[in-house]
Structures are given as C-alpha cells and as structure tokens.
Amino acid sequence: MKLQPDRMDTLAVTSYGPDWIAVNGERHQHSLLITSQGILRPWRPTHFESLQATDFEVLMELGVELAVFGSGKRLRFIPAAWQAPLMARRLGLETMDTAAACRTYNILAGEGRPVAALLLLETAPAPETST
C-alpha cells in the first residue's frame, strides 16, 4: 500500500542516516529546521546537551500549528518550562527521535498541514559534565 504521494509540493525529508538528513535529495550533515512552507536552514544545536530554550523560540515566528522535535538517536525530552511559551501560543510540540521526526514531518507536510521540524543531528561529542 502506498502511503506517500509520488511528489510533494513542499520540502520533504527524502532519506536519512545516522549523521545526515537529505531534504528534497540534498544531503545535510548538521541539525536542521524545516517547514512545510518552504523554510530550510541550519539549526544551532550540535548535541542534546547544548539545547537552550531559545532554540525553540524560533517556532513562534514561523506560522505553524505543530512542530516535531527530533531529539537525536534516542528519545529525550526538553524541560516543560521551555514548552510553556509555545503552548501559550497554541503551538504544539511533539518529541520523538530524529528518524521518527523525519517520517512524521513528511506525513504532516504531505497532508498540507503547516508544520515545522527541528531535527537534531549530533555531530559533535557531548561536553563532559563534572560532578
């Protein structure tokens, strides 16, 4: 059964691997912000531990209803306080690993929904934490 159209009229994640994501056939080896309205740009974080609340504030300027956050190779959640400004603007944020976020973004964008994806590619080692 075919679940995706032959061609989407928006940006689509066409493939991905452990350290890259291809959007409309073009490979990227850094974290990405992508929207169904045609925005594609690098996203600052290089590993989960470097995330900041300000990394998610960009979503409020995009005019989307829903965003998916790909948290890297495994599922990890951001602090609830970071989501509060998004919720106040009625902007949903769903968290999943980056591979699942790529697939979910494609489905939502293919339905014509105003959606964004913040896709974390962990390209640098996480900083060591001291206890």
Spans of all domains in the chain? 28-119
This prediction has a pTM of 0.87
Residue 51 near residue 118, CB atoms below 8 Å: no
Query: In this structure, are residues 130 and 54 in contact, taking their beta carbons and an 8 Å threshold?
Result: no
For 113, the enclosing helix (H) or strand (E) is none
- As assigned by CATH, the class of the 28-119 domain is alpha beta
Q: pLDDT digit of tens for each residue in the chain (131 aa)?
A: 334 455 567 999 999 998 999 999 999 999 999 999 999 999 999 999 999 999 999 999 999 999 999 999 999 999 999 999 999 999 999 999 999 999 999 999 999 999 999 999 997 554 454 44
d(CA 21, CA 8): 17
SS3 117: strand
- C-beta separation of 59 from 118 below 8 A: yes
